[in-house]
Amino acid sequence: PRILLLGPPGAGKGTQSENIVDEFDIEHVTTGDALRANKDMETEYGTPREFMQKGELVPDPVVNEIVAQALSDAEGFVLDGYPRNLSQAEYLDDITELDCVLSLAVPRDELIARLTGRRVCPNCGATYHVEFNPPETDGVCDACGSELTQREDDSESVVSERLEVYEETTKPVIEFYRERGELVEIDGEQSPDEVWNDLQLAIEDEL
Ligand code: AP5
Ligand code: ZN
CATH of the domain at 26: 3.40.50.300
Atom 21 in ligand 1: residue holding the nearest Cα: 32
Output the pTM of the full model.
Answer: 0.95
Q: Would residue 178 show up in a list of annotated catalytic residues for this protein?
A: no
Helix (H, G, I), strand (E, B) or coil at 3: strand
Pick from 69, 62, 61, 72: which is nearest to 2 by CA?
A: 72
Q: Would you place residue 41 in the very low, low, confident or very high pLDDT band (cuts 50, 70, 90)?
A: very high
- For residue 207, pLDDT over 90 is answered with no
Q: Does some domain include residue 176?
A: yes
Task: Quote the pLDDT of residue 73.
Answer: 86
Ligand 1-lining residues (CB < 6 angstroms): 7, 9-15, 31-32, 35, 51-52, 55-58, 63, 81-82, 84, 88, 114-115, 118, 127-129, 132-133, 153, 162, 191-192, 195
Q: Rounded distance, CA 154 to CA 9, Å? A: 10
Q: Does some domain include residue 163?
A: no
> Based on the structure, what is the number of domains in the chain?
1
Q: Does some domain include residue 56?
A: yes
Q: Does some domain include residue 68?
A: yes
% the chain with pLDDT above 70: 100
Q: Rounded distance, CA 111 to CA 10, Å? A: 5
Task: Quote the pLDDT of residue 49.
Answer: 97
- For residue 79, pLDDT over 90 is answered with yes
The 10s digit of each residue's pLDDT in 102-147 is 999 999 999 999 999 999 999 998 999 999 999 999 999 999 999 9
Q: Does some domain include residue 186?
A: yes
Task: Quote the pLDDT of residue 133.
Answer: 93
Q: Does some domain include residue 126?
A: no
CA of 80 to the centre of ligand 2 (A): 21
Pick from 8, 157, 9, 6: which is nearest to 17 by CA?
A: 6
Q: How many helices (H) and strands (E) does the chain have?
A: 9, 7
The 10s digit of each residue's pLDDT in 152-185 is 999 999 999 999 999 999 999 999 999 999 999 9
Q: Does some domain include residue 190?
A: yes
Q: Would residue 118 show up in a list of annotated catalytic residues for this protein?
A: yes
Q: Rounded distance, CA 3 to CA 203, Å? A: 8
Give me the domain span that covers residue 52.
2-108+170-206
Pocket residue to mutate for ligand 1, from 4, 5, 6, 13, most atoms within 8 A of Cβ: 13
Q: Does some domain include residue 93?
A: yes
